[in-house]
Copies of this chain bind each other. A is one copy, B any other.
């Protein structure tokens, strides 16, 4: 707990920081952050009466999940986890923070988005940025050379949040990865099959999965005449093709990245190509590409991949697309990205935003990263890996919006029956019956009031979707029965107490 003088000093310093930024006309984003910090310090100091006033909010870019959102999340997770288990995956978990060192040098420019922990004496730690690097660390540390695992957990990026589009600073990743030395493209094909199954089951409308290969991209750049040292930066420009027109991408290549016009035009020809196995075959005949060893290896694998995808019956949604160029440095072979066709309507409360209907974009992506584990191994031993990551927050956003427009109510509990009474002084009897139901595995609730009105007990059922009410009264107790009421139909029937559990289970199957 900071002392008052210290706080006042800190407020003064922070005030100067804000004034300086304003005078320098710094970005709104930056000023807002510093102002928030200032307000937080002021709040810590408290008001006039010395009363502590809290800033009641979650940290920027994070959110609470309320019970309704949790119910949706559970539904989505169940579908995804069932699919991972159907494919024989195990699961692991790793800590939320890693030695800072472990994350260093894996994310290129995005390293600036890593959250560091304060040095409180001890190790230097950072919050995990994804689940892939901790997975590679886990494999190297435990000398595991093959595993098929999934991992669902939160990761952290100090990015500019766009929460209305499902982009947060704390968000879930659902990763599935296959590590091990296997015959070509079989695990890769299974990853695509999994994406296909999950997107189908989630019922989010039409989608397609773009596939490409790092080696094909590199080969293409080489034969187009891109200098080696520009591969990465040109690659990240190509990656913008899903948001920008070719003309603008070309401008960036020529004006900002210094490519000559005709090199850019040659790239332009390739990156407009889309197809399936046929395109891979055609490009293997391409007079320039076929001369490049990297490109040939990639194209041969692509052909093989499509033959497996055919067996898995997923080729209707998979497109070999030469413009796909995912960001991360660590990919070494096949890469892919799944894109939903539908757009999300812009939320009503989002005034001033010029996005009339936001395209959801990528909801899953992944690829092959054969070098990452070797980066951790003291002897550099490689473990080939391929995996996929499901972008669950965007999927939650869609499901939440669907639930809002749907007439069907989202239930947040699974309660089967409320134990109620119409008369006074029956609390003990209600508690006793509730306990009997719990002991028999029935999901049951009872209002925590001595003498609740029957109406408020029935209202509780209406509000929360509890389908049944077990009503106790003097007469029922005397007769050894319970009045079982169906909330929706208002039908009531007397059930012998000994049969109650069976009757409830039968009605709530």
Contact = CB atoms under 8 A, between A and B. Distances in A.
Given A37-B123, A96-B170, A86 B444 contact: yes
Interface in A74-97: 74, 85-97
A456 interface: no
A63 B98 CA distance: 10
Given A33-B123, A64-B95, A197-B438, 5 more contacts: A1-B111, A54-B102, A58-B94, A88-B444, A115-B118
A245 interface: no
A140 interface: yes
B180 A448 contact: yes
B37 A98 contact: no
Contacts of A441: 86
Interface in A175-214: 178, 180, 182-183, 186-187, 189-190, 193, 197
A101 interface: yes
Contacts of A120: 115-116, 158
B193 A435 contact: yes
A60 B1 contact: no
B55 A88 contact: no
A411 to B, nearest CB: 9
Contact of A67 (B86, B87, B149, B312): B149
A354 B99 CA distance: 31
Interface stretch (A229-237, A269-277, A412-420): A412-420
Contacts of A358: none
A104 interface: yes
A413 B67 contact: no
A182 to B, nearest CB: 4
A193 B36 CA distance: 44
A197 B170 CA distance: 34
A317 interface: no
A138 B64 contact: yes
A378 B53 contact: yes
A368 to B, nearest CB: 13
Contacts of A138: 64
Contact of A183 (B67, B117, B449): B449
A137 B56 contact: yes
Given A56-B141, A137-B56, A182-B449, A90 B117 contact: no
B376 A56 contact: yes
Most chain B CB within a 10 A radius of its CB, from A101, A124, A190: A101
Interface of A: 1, 30, 33-34, 36-37, 40, 43-44, 52-60, 62-67, 70-71, 73-74, 85-99, 101-102, 104-105, 111, 115-125, 127, 137-138, 140-142, 147, 149, 154, 156, 158, 170, 178, 180, 182-183, 186-187, 189-190, 193, 197, 307-308, 311-313, 375-376, 378, 412-415, 427-428, 431-432, 435, 438-439, 441-445, 448-450
B101 A66 contact: no
A45 to B, nearest CB: 11
A180 B448 CA distance: 9
A149 B71 CA distance: 12
Given A115-B117, A122-B36, A85 B414 contact: yes
A414 B37 CA distance: 49
Contacts of A122: 33, 36-37, 60, 158
A334 to B, nearest CB: 14
A56 B98 CA distance: 10
A416 B142 CA distance: 27
Contact of A95 (B63, B94, B413): B63
A436 B63 CA distance: 40
Contact of A70 (B60, B92, B97): B92
Contact of A90 (B67, B427, B428): B67
B40 A123 contact: yes
Contact of A117 (B66, B95, B116, B427): B116
Q: Which of A87, A116, A117, A182 counts the most chain B CB atoms within 10 A?
A: A117
B193 A101 contact: no
A52 B380 CA distance: 10
A118 B118 contact: yes
Contacts of A431: 186, 189, 308, 311-312
Contacts of A142: 64, 66
A119 to B, nearest CB: 7
A307 B428 CA distance: 9
B93 A65 contact: yes
6 contacts: A64-B95, A96-B170, A182-B448, A193-B435, A308-B431, A311-B435
Given A93-B70, A105-B52, A99 B59 contact: yes
